[in-house]
Amino acid sequence: METWIGLMSGTSMDGIDAVLVSFQGKTLCTHATRSSPYPEDLRQRLILASQNQATPDEVGELDTLVGALFADAAEALIRESFADRPSIRAIGSHGQTLRHQPSGPARFSLQIGNPSIIAEKTGVTSVGDFRSRDMAAGGQGAPLVPAFHQHYFGSKTEDRCILNLGGIANITWLPSDPNSPVTGFDTGPANALMDAWCQDQTGRPYDEDGQWAQEGIVDQALLSDMLSDAYFERPAPKSTGKEKFNLCWIRTLVQRHEEVRPEDVQRTLLQLSVITTVRQMPQSPTMVVYVCGGGTRNRLLMKELAQALSPIRMLSTAELGLDPQWVEPTAFAWLARQTISSLPGNLAEVTGARGPRILGAIYPA
């Protein structure tokens, strides 16, 4: 049986998720999973690099270090699952995004985590650099997971909206009508701002279950100021990241509002994620929203989202057969399969590219 490995580290920069999966048509089998946290010193270096606080030497070193950690994650997954190495067709690695600039005179998206190191250390053909070709074709290079969402989660009987709550939130609209287009884009921050503010104010990398936010109240004036950001009104296709929604973004706005308690800022940031996500969803009372990503572990965020969406149903992607934590790494295993099979991996109507493109670069074993 042919299997595939997917490796993913998102904008939260907390570590590497790895999956071993197999595909038979639209049937997917998850054989093994593994999460490998980044060492804290490396995580801090990555955060600084993502804020343009790194020399070329530093970026090059991080590319090598992250590549080695991605390779180690794949190796550990293979070892712990007793996988038959020759049956693993390829590893699809998203890499670690440092900067994503989909607009301007010289657009780019920079992911580090050298795939050559992954192929060399594992002895398995690896696929990386998925975003560049879409951008070369005029696209945003993101989001790329909607093509996988369409393949695996699409339904002929139910309108579905797949909501991914990573550092950045993105949605994929999957209409049941085959004549209606699939759409998808980044709505704005999900966990990125909450994590950044929590780290800055408490020293903790994230607000577990939203407990700190629960202690605060929404500051309506601050929330209104946050919602005035032009990104939220920009039409799709669009994508964003920490280069925009970061600690500096929060501080700039908080300085305009005197005597806002830190916990109130946290609660307001959570409400910002809820409002901007729900407002940008398709207006379909019959749709069902299926949620995935790290944000599903924030109980307060999930509670507020469910209330904001009511009476629209909100369920986990687990109801569709895939645990919410493993949707994105599985998507990159599937994208590697598309690349190896010389099949397109993007949805041009989502990214804005001039057409479907075969994504990624192949690094033979």
Strand partners, 95: none
Question: What pLDDT, in 10s, does the model give residues 344-364?
Answer: 999 999 999 999 999 999 999
Which secondary structure element, helix H or strand E, spans residue 153, and what is its range? helix 145-153
Instruction: Return the pLDDT at 218.
Output: 98
Mean predicted lDDT score pLDDT of the chain: 96
Q: How far apart are CA 214 and CA 192, in angstroms?
A: 18
Q: What is the CA radius of gyration of the chain?
A: 20
Q: How far apart are CA 320 and CA 213, in angstroms?
A: 30
Question: What pLDDT, in 10s, does the model give residues 208-229?
Answer: 999 999 999 999 999 999 999 9
* pTM score: 0.95
Question: What pLDDT, in 10s, does the model give residues 284-299?
Answer: 888 999 999 999 999 9
Q: How far apart are CA 154 and CA 326, in angstroms?
A: 17
End-to-end CA distance of the chain: 19
Instruction: Return the pLDDT at 146.
Output: 97
Q: How far apart are CA 220 and CA 311, in angstroms?
A: 24
The answer to whether residues 34 and 174 belong to one domain is: no
The answer to whether residues 16 and 59 belong to one domain is: yes
Binding residues for ATP: 10-17
- The average pLDDT across 12-26 equals 93
Q: Are the C-beta atoms of 343 and 356 separated by less than 8 Å?
A: no
Domain count, the chain: 2
Surface-to-core class of residue 306, CB atoms within 10 Å of its CB (0-12 exposed, 13-18 middle, 19+ buried) = middle
**Percent over 70 (pLDDT), the chain:** 100
Binding residues: 10-17
Hey, CA dihedral for 212, 214, 219, 223, is it positive or negative? positive
The answer to whether residues 344 and 268 belong to one domain is: no
Q: What per-residue string of b and e applies to 202-227 under the rule 16 or more CB within 10 Å gives b? A: eeebbbeebebbeebebbeebbebbe
Please tell me whether residue 7 adopts helix, strand or coil conformation: strand
Place of tokens 């629209």: 312
The answer to whether residues 349 and 208 belong to one domain is: no
Question: What pLDDT, in 10s, does the model give residues 145-186?
Answer: 999 999 999 999 999 999 999 999 999 999 999 999 999 999
Of the candidates 21, 32, 3, 118, the one whose C-alpha atom is nearest the C-alpha of residue 70 is: 118
- The strand pair at 27-37 and 3-9 is best described as unpaired
Check whether 25 has a pLDDT greater than 90: no
C-alpha distances in angstroms, 268 versus 253, 261, 297? 12, 11, 18
Check whether 230 has a pLDDT greater than 90: yes
Question: What pLDDT, in 10s, does the model give residues 34-76?
Answer: 999 999 999 999 999 999 999 999 999 999 999 999 999 999 9
Of the candidates 242, 253, 239, 252, the one whose C-alpha atom is nearest the C-alpha of residue 195 is: 242
The answer to whether residues 208 and 125 belong to one domain is: no
What tokens appear for 323 in the block? 């645990």
The answer to whether residues 300 and 338 belong to one domain is: no
Contacts of 235 (CB under 8 A, 6+ apart): none
CA atoms within 13 A on the CB side of 111: 24
Instruction: Return the pLDDT at 258.
Output: 83
- The average pLDDT across 115-140 equals 98
The answer to whether residues 162 and 224 belong to one domain is: yes
Q: How far apart are CA 196 and CA 12, in angstroms?
A: 9
Q: Are the C-beta atoms of 296 and 314 separated by less than 8 Å?
A: no
Contacts of 154 (CB under 8 A, 6+ apart): 160, 174, 182
The answer to whether residues 136 and 149 belong to one domain is: no
Q: Are the C-beta atoms of 201 and 262 separated by less than 8 Å?
A: yes
CATH number of the domain within which 305 lies: 3.30.420.40
Q: How far apart are CA 115 and CA 93, in angstroms?
A: 7
Place of tokens 């901007």: 276
The answer to whether residues 137 and 149 belong to one domain is: no
* Enclosing domain of residue 267: 145-320
Check whether 12 has a pLDDT greater than 90: no
Where do runs of H (alpha helix) occur along 154-235?
A: 192-202, 211-214, 220-227
The answer to whether residues 281 and 261 belong to one domain is: yes
What tokens appear for 1 in the block? 């049986």
pLDDT-based confidence at residue 86 (cuts at 50, 70, 90): very high
The answer to whether residues 157 and 186 belong to one domain is: yes
The answer to whether residues 128 and 16 belong to one domain is: yes
Q: How far apart are CA 62 and CA 45, in angstroms?
A: 8
Instruction: Return the pLDDT at 138.
Output: 97
DSSP annotation of 181 reads P
